[in-house]
Amino acid sequence: MIITENLRGAGLMVLSMLLFAVNDAFIKSLGGQLQVFQTLFIRTGIVVAILALAVTWQRGWHRPDLSPKVRLVMWLRAGTEVGAAYFIVTALFNMELVNLTAILQAMPLAVTLAAYLFLGEPLGWRRLLAIAIGFVGVMLIVQPTSTGFNAFSFHAIGGVVCVTARDIFARIMGRAVSAQVMSLQAATMVLAFAFVAGWWEDWGPVPTTAWIGLVGSAAAISVGYVVSALVMRHGDIGYTAQFRYTGLLAALVLGYVFFDEWPNTLTLIGASIVVATGLFALNRERQVAKR
Taking only the tens place, the pLDDT of each residue in 32-81 is: 788 888 999 999 999 999 999 988 876 655 566 778 888 899 999 999 99
Give the whole-angstrom CA distance, residue 244 versus residue 41. Answer: 26
Residue 198 has pLDDT above 80, yes or no: yes
Q: Which one-letter amino acid corresponds to residue 117?
A: L
Give the whole-angstrom CA distance, residue 214 versus residue 37. Answer: 13
Give the whole-angstrom CA distance, residue 23 versus residue 222. Answer: 10
260 in helix, strand or coil?
A: coil
Instruction: Give me the pLDDT at residue 63, please.
Output: 64
Q: Which one-letter amino acid corresponds to residue 28?
A: K
Give the whole-angstrom CA distance, residue 86 versus residue 88. Answer: 6
- Give the other-Cβ count within 10 Å of 61's Cβ: 8
Q: What is the mean pLDDT of residues 225-250?
A: 87
On the 0-12 / 13-18 / 19+ scale of CB atoms within 10 A, 139 is: middle
Stated as kind and residue range, the H or E segment containing 117 is helix 107-118
Instruction: Give me the pLDDT at residue 49, please.
Output: 95
Which segments of 122-178 does DSSP mark as H helices, in order?
Answer: 125-142, 153-173
**Rounded to two decimals, what is the model's pTM?**
0.84
